[in-house]
């Protein structure tokens, strides 16, 4: 039987377990790593044996997190009787399936994603939490473990990462109250912010340079469009994923409603990222090209050369801006 949102029962299972194995998702971020580490440290304070797993290496910008060097890329063997999955919508997020888990084990699922599959025997899924970090604070509180600076550093990192430095709309009064409790314990804000936000690869800055060199402002200043050719990636030494977030530079310009970044993956494969500021539904524009997403952030792939892709997207955005204004 699946138990949905049963924090009390989950805490009871943890209390009784002498050993707990913790798991966090592929392409790890500050939220899953910080939350897993904080809970792991808390469980050790209770005298439990803890293992920490992530399928990938911890990104270098998170290496400052207390305990991070103990995270293993090898699955615990033998598998523990109690497994806690942190920030994972499903077992696929840790490259696992139910057959990897012994029948008599208990699976605990702590998450905040709306797409969570309730794959655990006990599940604590709160979609109103900005981050699993928030849930981890409550989790540790309920276990009755006293917070220390190492735990607070991990938890602050988790929350600040997934709330976008308290900017994203998932940030609530509760996010700030829990953060206040962590600051009371004493976290080094400068150290954390330096590690999380000031460790950009030089290649990413070079890619921003290329993007800005190709920036065009159209539609009476309402559309800002940037392009990155395959050559731009090559000469910057940048990986595809380093273009993440660059579109926000275009979006931050006064008067801009729609920002677009077009990336050339190959000569006839252009990936488009669209963002809007206040009112335009870019999901509808992305849908015109077989893509999708959300009203303010969407994406699509166009199997045509860059110049054509740019023209097509520009025309579609200009049309949408015109219709929107006329309403």
Residues that bind its own copies (CB under 8 A): 60-61, 165-169, 171-177, 179-181, 183-184, 189-190, 193-194, 197-202, 205, 208-209, 212-213, 215, 217, 221, 249, 251-256, 277-278
CB nearer to its own copies: give 33 or 80: 33
What DSSP designation does 40 have? H
Could you tell me the smallest distance in angstroms from the CB atom of residue 231 to its own copies?
Answer: 17
> Minimal distance in Å, beta carbon 202 to its own copies?
5
Judged by beta carbon, residue 13 or residue 247, the one nearer its own copies is 247
| Least distance from its own copies to the Cβ atom of residue 182, Å | 8
Of 33 and 36, which has the nearer Cβ to its own copies?
A: 33
Q: Which is nearer to its own copies, 195 or 314 (CB)?
A: 195
* Residue with smaller CB distance to its own copies, 52 or 210: 210
Q: CA 265, CA 240: separation in Å to the nearest integer?
A: 8
Q: Give whichever of 72 and 213 is closer to its own copies, judged by the CB atom.
A: 213
Pairing of the two strands 292-293 and 297-302: antiparallel
Distance CA(105)–CA(80), nearest Å, equals 7
CB of 101 to its own copies, least distance (A): 37
Token pair belonging to 293 = 């997403």
CA-to-CA dists, residue 256 to 124, 247, 304, angstroms: 40, 12, 26
Residue 322 C-alpha from the chain's centroid: 34
Which is nearer to its own copies, 142 or 193 (by Cβ)?
A: 193
Q: How far is the CB of 123 from its own copies (least distance, A)?
A: 27
Please, which residue, 99 or 198, has the CB nearer to its own copies?
A: 198
Cα of 219 vs its chain's centroid, Å: 32
In whole angstroms, what is the distance from residue 4 CA to residue 91 CA? 16
Q: Specify whether the CB–CB gap between 247 and 226 falls below 8 A.
A: yes
Q: To the nearest whole angstrom, how small is the minimum distance from the Cβ of residue 68 to its own copies?
A: 17
Q: How far is the CB of 154 from its own copies (least distance, A)?
A: 17
Q: What is the CA radius of gyration of the chain?
A: 22
Q: Decide if 234 contacts 207 (C-beta within 8 A).
A: no
What is the separation of C-alpha 202 from the centre of its chain, rounded to a whole number of angstroms? 22
- Least Å distance between CB 12 and its own copies? 30
DSSP result, 110-146: EE--TT----SSEEEE-TTSS-HHHHHHHHHHHHTPP
User: Across-strand partners of 24?
Assistant: 86
The SS3 assignment for 96 reads coil
Which CB sits closer to its own copies, 24 or 163? 163
Cα-based distances in Å from 178 to 14, 102, 199:
22, 36, 26
- Measured between alpha carbons, how far is 246 from 244 in angstroms, rounded to an integer? 6
Q: How far is the CB of 259 from its own copies (least distance, A)?
A: 10
């Amino acid at each position: 039987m699946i138990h949905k949102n049963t924090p009390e029962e989950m805490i009871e299972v943890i209390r009784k377990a002498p050993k707990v194995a913790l798991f966090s998702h592929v392409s790890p971020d500050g939220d899953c790593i910080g939350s897993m580490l904080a809970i792991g440290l808390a469980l050790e304070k209770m005298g439990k044996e803890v293992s920490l797993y992530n399928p990938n290496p911890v990104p270098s910008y998170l290496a400052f997190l207390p305990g991070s060097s103990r995270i293993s890329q090898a699955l615990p063997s033998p598998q523990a009787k109690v497994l806690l999955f942190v920030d994972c919508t499903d077992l696929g997020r840790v490259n696992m399936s139910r057959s990897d888990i012994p029948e008599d084990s208990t699976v605990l699922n702590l998450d905040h994603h709306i797409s969570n599959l309730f794959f655990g025997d006990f599940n604590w899924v709160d979609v109103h939490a900005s981050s699993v970090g928030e849930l981890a604070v409550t989790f540790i509180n309920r276990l009755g473990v006293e917070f220390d600076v190492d735990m607070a550093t991990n938890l602050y990192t988790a929350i600040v990462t997934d709330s976008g430095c308290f900017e994203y709309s998932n940030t609530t009064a509760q996010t700030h109250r829990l953060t206040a409790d962590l600051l009371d314990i004493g976290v080094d804000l400068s150290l954390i912010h330096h590690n999380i936000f000031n460790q950009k690869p030089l290649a990413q800055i070079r890619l921003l340079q290329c993007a800005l060199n190709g920036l065009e402002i159209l539609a009476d200043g309402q559309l800002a469009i940037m392009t990155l050719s395959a050559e731009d990636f090559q000469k910057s030494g940048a990986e595809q994923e380093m273009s993440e977030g660059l579109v926000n530079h275009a979006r931050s310009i006064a008067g801009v409603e729609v920002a677009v970044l077009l990336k050339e993956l190959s000569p006839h494969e252009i990936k488009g990222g669209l963002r809007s500021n206040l009112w335009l539904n870019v999901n509808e524009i992305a849908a015109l090209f077989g893509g999708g997403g959300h009203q303010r952030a969407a994406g699509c792939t166009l199997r045509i050369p860059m110049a054509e892709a740019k023209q097509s997207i520009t025309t579609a955005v200009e049309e949408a801006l015109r219709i929107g204004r006329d309403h």
